[in-house]
Chain A
Amino acid sequence: MTTESTVTTSATTVDEAVRCTGLTYRFGAQVAVNELDLAIGPGEMFGLLGPNGAGKTTTIRMLTTLLKPAAGSISVFGTDVAAHPMRVRRVLGYVPQALSADANLTGQENVELFARLFDVPRKVRKARVAGALEAMGLTEAATRLAGTYSGGMIRRLELAQALINAPRLLVLDEPTVGLDPIARGVVWEYIARLRASHGMTVLMTTHYMDEADANCDRVSLMHRGKIRATGSPAGLKGTLGDGATLDDVFRHYTGDALGGTPEEGGIRDVRRARRTARRLG
């Protein structure tokens, strides 16, 4: 069953936020992303869903200029990523999958570093940093070393970092993993506010189908490096019949992964996450 039809509505507009064409990446002989096509409209909140090892992070790393595609191309707001990585980086906000903040700097310094790296003018820098920290509820902890933060605090700190340059495209790789339900709510609430006030485009991945259902305008189901289906959560649920949940949609398109062999990516990522936790703790 092919369900690429929903993409066409936004694909026709010139002003696309993201467009991936024939995107491919290999780790050695293993194809992590396989001729992937994807289009995200400006202002959209787009979810990339799929089982462990589907290739979500690899896709995001290509989009964020970290990996060079083996084949295919990506454009961000009409600018080719391979040709002009620096222009694309200027409008990106990125929160990677693993918790990552410099444990030897305070929360405030972590954010200020990014303000400097994004050329936030010196005159507004202090106020901007304080504003971002306040928005993420980190004002009181701002002068503490990030090494003393809890997982949820680090995630919010990372969002403050990612938002300091007023990104036009915010890329979030499992932003709420490891957060308690209240912290998750805080993160989504803040992102929703930003979208409402600034019309930011968001590309996110998550393993929480309820979050995707509640927050995404459209989602893609990705499996083994390919997109299996794209559409609004409601539309995708509708194709499976009454009372279907996004969980059912996920199972429907990627179900053959569940009984299969464990994916290497999972182990790697868990190891990496543990290492991070150790370093931060």
Chain B
Amino acid sequence: MTYAAPGAPPADLASTAGPLGVADGPLAYLARLASRVIALCWVELRKIRHDRTELYTRAIQPALWLIIYGEVFTHVRAIPTPKGIPYLAFLAPGILAQSALFIAIFYGIQIIWERDAGVLTKLMVTPTPRAALITGKAFASGVRSLIQGVAVVIIAALLGVSLTANPLKLLAAAIILMLGSAFFACLSMTIAGLAVSRDRLMGIGQAITMPLFFSSSALYPASIMPGWLQVISAVNPLTYEVEALRGLLIGVPATLWLDTLVLTGSTVAGITAASLLLNRLASR
């Protein structure tokens, strides 16, 4: 094996003398937060580019839900839908949210991998606030969910679901999907911070994903749920994500301001919790 001799150090690589810089003000902090989130979303886009097969394999499951489950229940008409829309149209936003949920839940496992591989440690020694690292990862999951979401929307459209063509509503739906994904990524990273080890997290991740999905209004309206499930559904952020997507994409009545408020609040809470647990995760 041969090695190139080391080249000269870059000319502008000059250490500054004197004491270390002064503390940042709140504006500088926000600017840094934004720049870190952009950097981590950029990384995600690069990764998606390098491995596009995952994009296709991950489209299979939502396609099956829509084609098999959706078509069957459209025909049997067992589930009442608002304004009597076809069940498939009712289901599509639910499956969209589901595919984002499955992507987001993976980020907790990923952050433990990165911890074990030493990659997280190195990120934590850069001037990146813990909250910026978590927010960056959360929105990276949002970016991935969004790209995956395009696939789901295309499949739904091919199956004859009539979706809005209003660009503002599509943009709003994209934001909702991102927020939802960011929240569940934070939930997953919070659990990672509590579980600490990969094996434990794997089990927990699987144990919460399906309950989150079935206790939301993704598959059926809350009105036909038993009372106890309605209560769970009402505190499940996935319900609010699904309702908002339904309102925006399909046009069924929705309280968008409430959905947005709940999702934003949950995301902020999730970022806070996961950030606080990040040191614990890294110190194992």
Contacts and interface: CB of A to CB of B under 8 A. Distances in A.
Contacts, number: 166
Interface string A139-176: 10000010000101000001001010011100000000
Contact of B20 (A87, A137, A161, A193): A87
Interface residues of B, number: 51
Interface string A179-205: 010110010011001100111100000
Interface string B5-44: 1111111111110011111100000001001101100110
Nearest to A138: B4
Nearest to A87: B20
Given A86-B129, A128-B13, A79 B19 contact: yes
A117 interface: yes
B51 interface: yes
Interface in A61-90: 61, 64-68, 76-79, 84, 86-90
Contacts of A89: 125-128
B125 A135 contact: no
A279 interface: yes
B116 A166 contact: no
B282 interface: yes
B118 A128 contact: no
B50 interface: yes
A150 B1 CA distance: 11
Contact of B16 (A103, A168, A180, A279): A168
A267 to B, nearest CB: 15
B117 interface: yes
Taking chain B's interface residues, is the majority helix, strand, or loop, or is none over half, making it mixed? Answer: loop
Contact of A119 (B5, B8, B35, B123): B35
A143 to B, nearest CB: 11
Interface stretch (A48-56, A92-100, A219-227, A236-244): A92-100
Contacts of A161: 122
A108 to B, nearest CB: 10
B3 interface: yes
B48 to A, nearest CB: 10
A141 B15 CA distance: 28
Given A90-B21, A96-B122, A105-B46, A132 B35 contact: no
Nearest to A196: B9
Contacts of B114: 102
B35 A116 contact: yes
Contact of B128 (A68, A117, A145): A117
Contacts of B121: 66, 96, 100
A279 to B, nearest CB: 5
Contact of A186 (B5, B47, B51): B5
Give 4 nearest A-B pairs by CB, closest first: A100-B118, A131-B10, A137-B4, A190-B6
Given A79-B20, A102-B119, A150-B1, 11 more contacts: A64-B125, A79-B19, A96-B121, A97-B118, A103-B117, A117-B128, A119-B127, A139-B4, A145-B50, A163-B13, A182-B3
21 contacts: A66-B124, A66-B125, A79-B19, A84-B23, A86-B24, A87-B22, A96-B118, A104-B47, A105-B46, A113-B39, A113-B42, A134-B7, A135-B9, A135-B10, A186-B6, A197-B9, A200-B15, A276-B118, A279-B116, A279-B117, A280-B117
